[in-house]
Structure 1
Amino acid sequence: MLVQRLGAPSDFDPLLARVRDARIVMIGEATHGSYDYYRLREQLTRRLIAECGFSFVAVEGDWPDCDRVHRSVTAAPGGAAEPQTALERFERWPTWMWANAEVARFCRWLRAWNVERPEAARVGFHGLDVYSLWESMQAIFDYLGEEDPASLEAAQDAYRCFEPYGKRVEEYGMASRFASARCEDEVVRLLARTREHAAVDGADSFSAWQNAEVVAGAERYYRAMVAGGPESWNVRDIHMADTLDRLLDRYGPDSRGIVWAHNTHVGDARATDMAADGMINVGQLARERHSAEAVVLVGFGSYRGTVIAAPRWGSPAEAMVVPPARPGSVERRLHELMPERAVLVFGGDDQPGWVTDTVDHRAIGVVYDPSFESWGNYVPTRLGERYDAFIWCDEATALHPLPALSAPGEMETYPAGV
């Protein structure tokens, strides 16, 4: 194991050496609301783009919202000249995950980087998630209305199937327990028609195809969600892994992708108790599909600090105090052993027990109650198997949300808010 104190972006050199020829680098976060994670992830991502030639950033966000950001950072026709304008249009709760000053700063840098390069070499920004059923349906209508009005019928049939449930698509999930209420056939027709258009080279046709994949994934997700258990989680992470693979294909055989998501999606589920509960995740699937050598998984953690989160699903975000990590956790051990900030690169035969043994590892979602620290908010983890590297911040501070509009999100995800 190699430990490097972090003080400047150049201190990521040992991690970049570990990346070498990896096609995918996934960079996690132990919360969805810590400035330090976003800032350090940005610094690492800039170096991966500038020095290693990575092709795109794919985040745990909705495709339509992130597509507006993509058009801005690539200076595509119709894209906002200021990326923050696109970020401020994020409406689905929790908006602060991506509509924040830290992401806006990165996106401004990315646009400046891209405009100096030919269109084919510009670095994209894309969403991996599955929640945007209605937004994706509207995007498909907009595309087909201009490109192929004859295919609108398939989109209209799918829309009419979901329409009785309005924006409360979880009600569709309840109704779908009866076979006559299921929208699978209509969604399959819609997906088939938009796939035909995706065969035509063009960013708009690819985006329409991806929106159709979101509609298909959302239909599966809401049916699984009402049944309880881990299946809806698995549907969501398989969708994100499939989207990542489509992006790699879209960008070409030599493309390389960066993923930003929570540790619970990035870190290999097989090295946690998630596996015993029947759960898989994006990090695991990427290793299985592309080989462990082609994928580098990077986790984050901290001992204490502040975080932006909400006390209940759908309630306003607030700055909360993150108490010191509980005894016996990996965060407590790192607090005792590590400098204030460090990057750990795992490997070799000299790894200590707290890297190879199963140890509690903190995970904070968009919903957080600090009083649960005594028994919840931790995932039993074999750190050196779950990640290839780990970025440590002894104290992390809350990020800075943008004044985005907020609309209610989906029902609480499983497990809560990650």
Structure 2
Amino acid sequence: MRTVSWLLLLVWGLGCTSARLPPRTQPAPEGFSLTGVVLGANGAPLEGARVGLIPFVPAWNLRTDAPVALVRSGPQGAFSFGPLTPGAYGLSAVTPEGRVLFTERIHVKAGEPGAPRVLRVPEDRVSWDVTVVDEAGAPLPGVELRVVRVGMPYDDVAFPPASSTGRFHLETARDGTYSLIVSAPGFTTKMQQVERLGEPVVVGLERVADEAMRQAAVDWVRRNGLKLQSVEAGHGFEDLAPLEPVLRDVRVVALGEATHGTREFFQLKHRLFEFLVTRMGFTVMAFESNFAEMLALDEYVLTGRGDPAQLLKGETWDTQEVLELVQWMRRYNADPSHTKKLRLQGVDMQYSPAAVARVVAYLSKVDPSQVAQVQTSLAPLTERNAGSFLRLPKERHQEIRQRLDTLSERFEREREPYTRQSSPEEWALARQSLRVLRQYVGHLLREENGMRDRAMAENLLWLLEWNGPGTKAVVWAHNGHVKRGPSEWLDMPMGRHLAKALGPELYVFGFAFRQGSFQAFNMDPHPPPERKGMVEFSVPPSPEGSLDDTLARAGAPLLAVELRALPRRGAAYEWWRRTQATYDIGFIFSDQGYPAVGSVRALECYDGLLFVERTTRAQPNP
């Protein structure tokens, strides 16, 4: 998909992948032309650079849609586009030597001629080679490549010439996060994140599965899929009973979702959690929500203090379906016969004023001399707009990072006296709040690719330990986070970190649907008043041959599929091991059109699948 912004990702937890939709026709151009020049690092003009222009609009699909224009620079490095419609654009160039260049976002305004643009090779750059291979490991001829640089609020895309050998040499600026989109006739288009600039990258493409493989996959699901009676809790567990031996030795069940706003997904998760609690001894529900902010809901579930509807405000999960889950957990804990109480907790580590407040309140109790300095240092972390933090001088970033590290060392050093003045639980919660603040700063400063997912996995493992030996937990997050294998945007999602730590004690359910409605935040730049904020969207039936379409052909409107039981040979296996298209929608969508279809290697990423043929919107709380 078109990423909205890595800032929006860190605020909203998108976890989405790119789409595979038919190319769109670009609007008829009008307005002013855009001119510019491509220069080498020494300022000399460069001829023959491939210069591309893309629109920065929600509907543009970076995997499949054509650029607005694609030209080569002339003898003096000059190029021109146009005429252009008013709007925002991204400009890139790839020189004959493979040097990839980008400019800042370009704004074309009606009635105003645009200034010439300069694309200059950076002096500080890194070289790396890309080889595209088939399933046998042989380089593929005729490969097309797109180089994606994650940006704000849209990604930049550059267009190297196609390779007759399957090999590309690239040079890029050292800063930035990059992904590659690779396509070849007869093969499934693939997006792959570049983990470490400067190291060789190999991208393996798979041949598109044939109809015989797909039919074998359908037949296997018909024979082995578990038909569920209802998504709603309160219908007993007879139909879920076959899952007991599957999950008997599991410590963590990860429940994904193909959107962050589907009623049936939320209801089914509630029902599964009741089953796991009452039949299998699970006690923790951990959301893709901020650790510190969820502590108030955890307090409600344990004691009944607070208003759960108010405590859900501001959460992605502020819906009637989640409120019903929270209230059920409270009723369960209020029963004195249930001696092992349920906990409702968060594993995320984004903007978190509650974490700052908890650290300050704890220090006020055990170490008042530290409070004033900590409040001043950490004040930027209480601002909702992460951009305000990023605009601070680098020296201020370093100061905040150092303050968190020093304070963490102090907590460890003073653990015994701190605990004597408070309690082990208070110390642990304040210490963990410090940890998530440090994770957040590292995420903002891009200390490593995928730091958010690593942090969420570490926080879940901490919760397992903190809640005591034998604790079993359910984690609720987007499909893109729970995957055992790499996604298109992230090599190491949360689920892959958890798989390394837990092995077969982790069971990951991906969620899929064929068609229907959901709620999401409307990212249109100028929506009408009635379409602002969280609104309802709908999508038509998933493309023929997709994962969702294949599951629908099995004929059950509600289905559980145990992928660990799939034989590792035969035509069905050949279909399931390959990359398949699937609906993959996060927190955001658009009335203008938005890429809704991503892709997944289900057998690599999930242990099981839960499928709903038709969905409806999650119901917002009043």
TM-score (norm 2): 0.57
Contact kept? 2:292, 2:352, Cα under 8 Å: no
Is 1:216 the counterpart of 2:438? The answer is yes
Structure 2 equivalent of residue 239 of structure 1: 455
* 8 Å contact kept, 1:174–1:223: no
Higher relative contact order (CA 8 A, sep 6+): 1
Deviation at 1:341, TM superposition (A): 0.6
1:17 corresponds to which residue? 245
TM alignment of 1:132-151, pairs within 5 A: 132-151=351-370
Contact 1:57 1:257 in 2 (8 A): yes
Q: Over aligned residue pairs, what C-alpha RMSD do you find? A: 2.6
CA offset digits 1:106-131 (Å, max 9, x no partner): 11111111122489721111111111
Q: Distance in 2 between matches of 1:166 and 1:125?
A: 25
1:407 corresponds to: none
Q: Is the 8 A contact 2:293 2:355 kept in 1?
A: no
Partner of 2:54: none
Cα 1:75–1:24 change in 2 (3 A) is same
Aligned amino acid, residue 129 of structure 1:
D
More deviation in 141-150 or 317-326? Answer: 141-150
2:483 — aligned with what? 267
1:286 aligned residue: 498
Shift of 1:180: 5.6
Q: Which has the higher helix share?
A: 1
Relative distance call for 1:254 and 1:181 in structure 2 (3 A) is: closer
Asked whether the equivalents of residues 524 and 591 of structure 2 are also in contact (C-alpha less than 8 Å), the reply is no
Mapped to 2, the partners of 1:21 and 1:203 lie a distance apart of 29
Q: CA deviation at 1:157?
A: 5.2
Distance 1:15-1:238 versus aligned 2 partners, 3 A rule: same
Check conservation: 1:342, 1:391, Cα contact below 8 A. yes
1:368-401 deviations in Å (ceiling 9; x for gaps): 137656xx33332221221111111000110111
Q: Give deviations 1:200-250, integer Å, cap 9, x for gaps.
A: 45433222122111210111111129xxxxx55x11111101100110110
Number of the residue aligned with 2:261: 33
Counterpart-to-counterpart distance in 1, 2:298 and 2:441: 25
Match of 1:412 in 2: none
Matched, 1:102 2:317: no
CA contact (8 A) 1:154 1:189 kept: no
**Which consecutive residues of structure 2, in runs of 5 or more, have no partner in the other structure?**
1-219, 231-236, 526-531
Please state which structure has a larger fraction of its residues in strand.
Answer: 2
Q: Please, which moves more after superposition, 99-108 or 118-127?
A: 118-127
User: Could you say which residue in structure 2 is the equivalent of 1:46?
Assistant: 274
Q: How far has the Cα of 1:30 moved from its partner?
A: 0.6
Q: Is the 8 A contact 1:12 1:343 kept in 2?
A: no
2:342 alignment partner in structure 1: 123
- Unaligned stretches of 5+ residues in structure 1: 226-230, 404-418
Are the counterparts in 2 of residues 300 and 392 from structure 1 also a CA contact under 8 Å? yes
SS at match of 2:475: strand
Distance 1:167 1:99, change over 3 A: closer
Structure 2 Cα separation of the partners of residues 196 and 50 of structure 1: 41
Give the counterpart of 1:358 among 544, 556, 579.
Answer: 579
TM-score normalized by structure 1? 0.83
Q: Which amino acid aligns with 1:279?
A: D
Structure 1 residues 285-314: Cα deviation after superposition (integer angstroms, max 9, x where no partner): 1111111x1100001111111101122189
Q: 1:149 to 1:307 in 2, by over 3 A?
A: same
Rounded Cα–Cα distance in structure 2 between residues aligned with 1:249 and 1:60? 18
Q: Percent identity?
A: 21
Taking the aligned partners of 2:397 and 2:281, their CA distance within structure 1 comes to: 47
- Of 51-60 and 125-134, the range deviating more from structure 2: 125-134
In structure 1, the residue matched to 2:130 is none
* 2:351/2:383 contact within 8 Å kept: no
Q: Deviations over 1:69-125 (max 9, x none)?
A: 10000117xx32x433422xx33xxx3x22111111111111111122489721111
